[in-house]
A and B are shown apart, each in its own frame.
Chain A
Amino acid sequence: MVLLTLLAATTIGVVRVRNLFAAAILTGIYSFLMASVMILLDAVDVAMTEASVGAGIAMVLMLGALYLTTTDEKRPAHTPLLPLFVAGVTGAVLIWAVSGLPDFGSAETPVQVLGPNYVERTISETGIPNAVTSVLASYRGFDTLGEAIVIFTAGIGVLLLLKRAPSGGDRAK
């Protein structure tokens, strides 16, 4: 509860603050709070990823981008009505979707029904005691391959957009 309150406060802070440097720091704080929530939910792997990517790398990249521009947000050129409408509708759809999820802690969820099966199989079939790793890399290896390709694509995309021509080239100016 305390964490969720802090999360909400940080979110409002990110929206309200006009100094982009402060906003970047606040998103980092948000990531650390989110990681703490994940630890409370026993999802240590997710917490680790959130802390290192969200609070670490993403913040460095945001600060690096800020270094290239100014640190103060410009006044918006349009009225915020259309974005407000889009955000409101998206939020409503998400809340509506949550009502379709099984109850928190329910015994009927797929993870409760199918999970023990993997936990039992993992040692005899893969020799890996950590079921998270064996599911990620072996039983669901195809999904993880997709994730690796997503990261690959993201890296290539950023390189195409941002990389400058080798020294002497002035094309990117």
Chain B
Amino acid sequence: MRLDVILRVTAKLILPLMLLFAVYVQFHADYGPGGGFQAGVIAGATLILYALIYGLGAVMRIVPVAAVEALIPLGVLVYVGVGVFGILAGGNFLDYSRLAHDPVHGQEWGVFLVEVGVFLTVAATMLAIFYALAARGRG
């Protein structure tokens, strides 16, 4: 479009790495710093950067508004679902020990699922706020 070739090429190089880093932060949180919140923010920032350079329409084709709005509550529901599953399995709310055969595995699964829930909510919220702001500017 305009004279932003450098921006576009750099973004193309950096975007996959950013997304990969988000995934790394998400799944490596058991061993290193990070977790659902940080990973969600990084993933959200990746998509926002994409939107800044390639335009809002390009991102909305990948992640439609309806999907974002569905993902915000879905993350919380995943979290609460893990908690309620603990009750149904005969334990307390958010009792991860019941998720697998032995308590330690259950804890790992519980933490993993809960972090996924946080990731979904955070990433979707960041994107939703950006969509809401950016869409105003266009009209």
Residues of A within 8 A of B (CB): 44-45, 48-49, 52-53, 56-57, 60-61, 64-65, 67-68, 124-130, 132-134, 136-138, 141-142, 144-145, 147-149, 151-152, 154-156, 158-159, 161-164, 172
Contact = CB atoms under 8 A, between A and B. Distances in A.
A53 B38 CA distance: 8
B114 A137 contact: yes
Interface of B: 25, 29-38, 41-42, 44-45, 48, 52, 69, 72-73, 75-76, 79-80, 83, 93-94, 96, 103-105, 107-108, 110-111, 114-115, 117-118, 121-122, 124-126, 128-130, 132-137, 139
A44 B48 CA distance: 24
Ranked 6 nearest A-B pairs via Cβ: A155-B125, A162-B132, A126-B107, A44-B33, A137-B111, A64-B133
A158 B129 contact: yes
B90 to A, nearest CB: 18
B30 A61 contact: no
Contact of B42 (A52, A68, A133): A52
Contacts of A145: 79-80, 83, 94, 114
B104 A137 contact: no
30 contacts: A45-B33, A45-B34, A48-B33, A52-B42, A53-B41, A57-B41, A57-B48, A57-B126, A64-B130, A68-B137, A125-B104, A127-B104, A129-B31, A130-B29, A133-B30, A134-B107, A137-B114, A141-B83, A142-B94, A148-B76, A148-B121, A152-B75, A152-B76, A152-B121, A155-B125, A155-B128, A158-B128, A158-B132, A164-B139, A172-B136
Contacts of B41: 49, 52-53, 56-57
B38 A45 contact: yes
